[in-house]
């Protein structure tokens, strides 16, 4: 942390010195050669969105702003969240070293809350920039005071979004507590399916306390060639609602299933495009502008089509909506039956045992089974406790996903590793297990009892803890067959979704259950002996490699400062464990020192949580275009084929695909030959735009690969495990 403070202090001193040494340059301001600071950087503010302040700087030609010199200070009754700033242009400043700057324009978004009774949003915005051509000068830091009226809905005082707070927000909504309004794409999910070529079923799905107006739903077919829609068959269940503007109206809370007939000869049509416009509100909160969604419905396959926001409507502006050319209507996950999803889940869980992120933890279980020797009862106890830990973890994950889904939020597979603090804690836990395997410390009578110190007797707690850890570290991996099962689980009814997660756990635990309960397999285990101590120590090194990988992930999320703090935490942890081992059977003073050393580990972890995020790696890679919905729409409008790659640094499957396919010469040649653009979205840190894209394609997480053809049309979603031939063929098809 001292390094960050010293760097910030040095930056301020150098910029101040540079400004002080250029009085002649500042004198030219009066001559008109240098603009006043408020004309060089024109700041405008928009507080129209409850809970979020949007800032925009228009930057004059030949001027730039420093990203790292922006500072936001709250006024009375206002609490600010972390400012969301886009990555800047990276270059080496001759005085300041590596910096990020903005040219032309920049937008910032700042979440906030207000205390009860606060009626004005007051805050100070400080920024600093330079003139980059002769005369080259840097302005001193400039502060502007904002005093804006608050929108009415802000009086709820909803908490600003913070890392790791999505589950709490979801549970708050489930409890009926008023919260900040959701983006329209999350608040009102619209899908359509063809029951047969003459009948459609339209569905609106909304979180608790959101509703849609019955008499403000308008439907029409686009380019229908004589076809038209019949009168909607409004279902029962509408609620008479007293609207302040419209009087007594009928609304639907939670969901609306609306059957609509197609009039005319649709039997020879393969697909139709439907436009739906509607109004909706958050009960006791805000009402949304008119929303429009386009869906392309396959009349023959019965595939579910998702609503895509129509460009230019109020619902799109400022909410990250994508145009109907920017994304295609992906196939619905519920085309998979429950039985097929369970088979995929079982296969995916089995193959997950072979994935590199899981193998280090499984070494703990392998040694515990070897130590069981010829004692079948001990083997069964080990396997059952481990299986209980695996299943409990998968059930907890499934319940969390269902809670978030019902509240309109999203939780993807592996997204817990978007939280740097959790990455650091996980690295420390695996580091401690590695030290145990190396013989530095023992957490019980054998390696199979790792974690048994969590309770006072028995080794079952250690086996249960190993099962929990296996699920946590498995999340960055997506085994073959898991994609379809997870996509089904993320959209299926609650009981079906939980069943899929349970079967995933059964697949992960099945090899150990088989060894424990099938004597013929157990006989394959070698006899215990002195050689096992050497095996334990050898298996510690995959654990250390896992720690190195987690440190690399943390470096991409929070930079070198965070990695330095993690190393300090691990050194303190090693010291605490070493002293714990030396203090066995000694007096209470030695145990008190062990507790103090363990508490000291928390200090660098706390400082690590305060380190700001770094720019996503995808924005600086040569030959790629960073993902944005607007850029994708622009490329599609220009009839350019696009290969969209949604990835993350913690995703092992993503990195395997990059190493074997996407970083290869054959892929680059295919891009060149087809004229396709490689667009990459980095989900290493939380990114609502990428989350929305994943939800649109029913993807439970990354990787997600979609190839968009030139000339419009539906995007083609590729499997999670790629081959060069598969990608080349998809690009060639998209370019035709």
Residues in the chain: 736
Residue 13 lies in a domain: yes
Question: Residues 454-458: what's their mean pLDDT?
Answer: 36
Count of C-beta atoms within a 10 Å radius of residue 406: 16
pLDDT value of position 410: 53
Do 229 and 263 sit in the same domain of this protein? Answer: yes
CATH number of 643's domain: 3.40.30.10
Q: Residue 230 burial by CB count (10 A; 0-12/13-18/19+): exposed, middle or buried?
A: middle
* DSSP helix/strand/coil, 530: coil
Question: Residues 443-472: what's their mean pLDDT?
Answer: 59
Q: 109, 139, 156 — which closes off a domain? A: 156
Q: Tell me: pLDDT of 212 over 80.
A: yes
Q: Tell me: pLDDT of 546 over 80.
A: yes
pLDDT value of position 305: 57
Of the candidate ranges 249-258, 317-326, 694-703, the one whose mean pLDDT is the lowest: 317-326
Do 7 and 99 sit in the same domain of this protein? Answer: yes
Going through 616-703 in order, the beta strands assigned E by DSSP cover 625-626, 642-647, 677-682
pLDDT value of position 601: 92
Q: 326, 361, 382 — which closes off a domain? A: 326
The tokens describing 510, both together, are 């099945």
The tokens describing 399, both together, are 């319940």
Residue 596 lies in a domain: no
Highest mean pLDDT (candidates 5-19, 171-185, 293-307, 462-476): 462-476
Task: With beta carbons less than 8 A apart as the criterion, state whether 70 and 55 touch.
Answer: no
Do 195 and 145 sit in the same domain of this protein? Answer: no
For residue 700, what are the contacts with CB-CB under 8 A and spacing of at least 6?
412, 413, 483, 486, 487, 489, 490, 694
The tokens describing 712, both together, are 């419009």
Give 279-315 pLDDT, tens digit per residue.
888 887 777 778 889 888 877 655 555 565 554 444 3
pLDDT value of position 728: 94
| φ, ψ dihedrals at 372, nearest 5° | -65, -20
pLDDT value of position 13: 43
Q: Residue 76 burial by CB count (10 A; 0-12/13-18/19+): exposed, middle or buried?
A: exposed
pLDDT value of position 304: 52
Residue 342 lies in a domain: yes
CATH number of 310's domain: 2.60.40.1250
pLDDT value of position 444: 47
pLDDT value of position 712: 74
Residue 594 lies in a domain: no
257: confidence class by pLDDT, cuts 50, 70, 90: confident
| φ, ψ dihedrals at 143, nearest 5° | -120, 130
Question: How far from chain centre, in Å, is Cα 331?
Answer: 22
Count of C-beta atoms within a 10 Å radius of residue 201: 17
pLDDT value of position 674: 93
Question: Residues 243-256: what's their mean pLDDT?
Answer: 81
The tokens describing 440, both together, are 């530095």
User: Is the Cα torsion angle 282, 283, 289, 291 positive or negative in sign?
Assistant: positive
pLDDT value of position 157: 39
Highest mean pLDDT (candidates 507-511, 570-574, 579-583): 570-574
Count of C-beta atoms within a 10 Å radius of residue 89: 11
Do 258 and 348 sit in the same domain of this protein? Answer: no
Give 317-334 pLDDT, tens digit per residue.
333 333 333 334 444 444
The tokens describing 190, both together, are 């619209």
Question: Residues 542-564: what's their mean pLDDT?
Answer: 89
pLDDT value of position 335: 53
Do 312 and 354 sit in the same domain of this protein? Answer: no
Please give the Cα distance from 731 to 354 (Å, whole number): 31
Percent of the chain topping pLDDT 90: 19
Q: Tell me: pLDDT of 677 over 70.
A: yes
pLDDT value of position 278: 92
For residue 202, what are the contacts with CB-CB under 8 A and spacing of at least 6?
190, 191, 192, 219, 256, 257, 258, 259, 260, 274, 276
Q: What is the average pLDDT value for the chain, to the nearest integer? A: 77
Do 89 and 129 sit in the same domain of this protein? Answer: yes
Which residue, among 258, 137, 147, has the nearest Cα to 192 in the 3D structure? 258
Buried b (16+ CB within 10 A) or exposed e, 44-65: ebebebbbbbbbebebeeebbb
Question: Residues 560-565: what's their mean pLDDT?
Answer: 92
Of the candidate ranges 6-15, 362-371, 543-552, the one whose mean pLDDT is the lowest: 6-15
Give 332-371 pLDDT, tens digit per residue.
444 567 888 888 888 888 887 877 667 666 666 666 666 6
Residue 625 lies in a domain: yes
Do 378 and 497 sit in the same domain of this protein? Answer: yes
pLDDT value of position 372: 61
Of the candidate ranges 200-209, 668-677, 694-703, the one whose mean pLDDT is the lowest: 694-703
> How many separate domains does the chain show?
4
Start-to-end CA distance of the chain, whole Å, equals 54
Which residues partner with 204 through β-bridges? 190, 256
Which residue, among 581, 572, 579, 575, has the nearest Cα to 601 in the 3D structure? 572
Q: 326, 346, 372 — which closes off a domain? A: 326
Do 250 and 344 sit in the same domain of this protein? Answer: no
Highest mean pLDDT (candidates 195-209, 486-500, 515-529): 195-209
Do 461 and 483 sit in the same domain of this protein? Answer: yes
pLDDT value of position 406: 61
Q: Tell me: pLDDT of 15 over 90.
A: no
Question: Residues 580-589: what's their mean pLDDT?
Answer: 76
For residue 563, what are the contacts with CB-CB under 8 A and spacing of at least 6?
551, 554, 555
Do 521 and 662 sit in the same domain of this protein? Answer: no
Do 434 and 460 sit in the same domain of this protein? Answer: yes
pLDDT value of position 411: 58
The tokens describing 410, both together, are 């999203």
Residue keyed to tokens 């005369």: 135
What range defines the domain where residue 250 resides? 184-326
pLDDT value of position 55: 93
Residue 608 lies in a domain: no
Question: Residues 169-181: what's their mean pLDDT?
Answer: 45
Q: Tell me: pLDDT of 161 over 60.
A: no
405: confidence class by pLDDT, cuts 50, 70, 90: low
pLDDT value of position 213: 92
Which residue, among 597, 354, 632, 345, has the nearest Cα to 492 in the 3D structure? 345
Task: With beta carbons less than 8 A apart as the criterion, state whether 241 and 193 touch.
Answer: no
Whole-model pTM: value is: 0.48
Do 519 and 375 sit in the same domain of this protein? Answer: yes
Residue 350 lies in a domain: yes
243: confidence class by pLDDT, cuts 50, 70, 90: confident
Would you give the DSSP letter of residue 285?
A: S
Give 69-116 pLDDT, tens digit per residue.
899 999 888 888 888 899 988 888 766 678 899 999 999 999 888 877
Residue 599 lies in a domain: no
Task: With beta carbons less than 8 A apart as the criterion, state whether 200 and 192 touch.
Answer: yes
Would you give the DSSP letter of residue 662?
A: I
């Amino acid at each position: 942390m001292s390094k960050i403070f010293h760097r910030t202090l040095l930056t301020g001193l150098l910029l101040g010195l540079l400004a002080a040494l250029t009085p002649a340059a500042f004198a030219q301001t009066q001559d008109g050669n240098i603009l006043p600071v408020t004309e060089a950087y024109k700041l405008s503010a928009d507080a129209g969105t409850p809970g979020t302040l949007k800032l925009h700087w228009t930057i004059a030609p030949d001027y730039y702003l420093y990203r790292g010199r922006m500072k936001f200070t709250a006024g009375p009754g206002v609490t600010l969240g972390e400012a969301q700033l886009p990555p800047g242009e990276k270059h080496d400043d001759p005085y300041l070293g590596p910096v990020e700057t903005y040219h032309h324009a920049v937008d910032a978004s700042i979440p906030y809350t207000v205390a009860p009774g606060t009626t004005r949003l007051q805050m100070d915005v400080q920024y600093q920039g330079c003139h980059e051509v002769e005369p080259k000068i840097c302005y001193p830091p400039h502060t502007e005071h904002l005093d804006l009226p608050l929108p009415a809905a802000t009086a709820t005082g909803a908490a600003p979004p913070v890392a790791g707070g999505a589950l709490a927000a979801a549970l708050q909504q489930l409890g009926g507590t008023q919260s900040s309004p959701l983006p329209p794409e999350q608040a009102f999910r619209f899908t359509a399916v063809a029951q047969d070529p003459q009948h459609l079923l339209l569905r609106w799905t909304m979180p608790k306390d959101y509703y849609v107006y019955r008499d403000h739903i308008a439907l029409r077919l686009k380019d229908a060639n004589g076809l038209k829609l019949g009168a909607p068959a409004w279902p029962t269940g509408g609620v008479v609602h007293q609207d302040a503007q419209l009087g007594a109206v009928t609304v639907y809370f939670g969901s609306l299933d609306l059957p609509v007939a197609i009039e005319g000869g649709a039997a020879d049509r393969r697909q139709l495009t439907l436009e739906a416009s509607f109004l909706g509100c958050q009960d006791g909160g805000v009402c949304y502008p008119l929303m429009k969604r386009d869906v392309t419905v396959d009349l023959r396959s019965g595939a579910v089509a998702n609503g895509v926001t129509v460009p230019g409507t109020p619902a799109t502006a400022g909410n990250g909506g994508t145009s109907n050319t920017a994304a295609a209507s992906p196939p619905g996950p519920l085309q998979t039956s429950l039985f097929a999803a369970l088979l995929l889940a079982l296969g995916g869980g089995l193959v997950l045992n072979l994935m590199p992120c899981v193998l280090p933890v499984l070494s703990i279980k392998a040694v515990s089974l070897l130590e069981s020797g010829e004692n079948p009862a001990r083997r069964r106890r080990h396997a059952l406790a481990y299986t209980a830990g695996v299943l409990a973890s998968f059930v907890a994950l499934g319940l969390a996903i269902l809670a978030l889904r019902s509240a309109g939020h999203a939780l993807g597979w592996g997204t817990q590793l978007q939280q740097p603090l959790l990455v650091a804690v996980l690295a420390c836990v695996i580091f401690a297990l590695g030290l145990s395997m190396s013989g530095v410390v023992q957490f019980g009578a054998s390696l199979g009892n790792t974690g048994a110190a969590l309770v006072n007797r028995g080794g079952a707690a250690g086996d249960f803890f190993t099962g929990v850890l296996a699920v946590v570290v498995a999340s960055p991996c997506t085994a073959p067959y898991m994609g379809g099962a997870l996509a089904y689980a993320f959209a299926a009814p609650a009981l079906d979704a939980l069943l899929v997660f349970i079967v995933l756990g059964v697949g992960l635990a099945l090899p150990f259950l088989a060894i424990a309960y099938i004597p013929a397999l157990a006989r394959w285990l070698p006899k215990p002996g002195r050689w096992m101590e050497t095996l334990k120590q050898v298996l510690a090194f995959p654990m250390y490699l896992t720690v190195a990988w987690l440190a690399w992930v943390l470096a991409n999320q929070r930079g070198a400062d965070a990695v330095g703090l993690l190393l300090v935490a691990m050194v303190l942890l090693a010291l605490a464990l070493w002293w714990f081992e030396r203090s066995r059977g000694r007096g209470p003073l030695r145990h008190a020192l062990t507790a103090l050393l363990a508490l000291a580990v928390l200090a660098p972890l706390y400082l690590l949580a305060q380190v700001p995020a770094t720019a996503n790696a995808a924005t600086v890679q040569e030959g790629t275009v960073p993902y944005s919905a607007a850029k994708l729409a622009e490329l599609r409008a220009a009839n350019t084929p696009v290969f969209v790659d949604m990835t993350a640094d913690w995703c092992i499957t993503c990195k395997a695909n990059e190493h074997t396919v996407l970083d290869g010469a054959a892929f680059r040649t295919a891009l060149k030959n087809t004229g396709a653009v490689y667009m990459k979205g980095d989900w290493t840190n939380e990114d609502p735009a990428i989350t929305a894209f994943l939800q649109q394609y029913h993807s439970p997480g990354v990787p997600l690969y979609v190839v968009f053809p030139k000339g419009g049309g539906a995007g083609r979603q590729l499997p999670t495990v790629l081959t060069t031939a598969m990608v080349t063929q998809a690009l060639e098809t998209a370019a035709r």
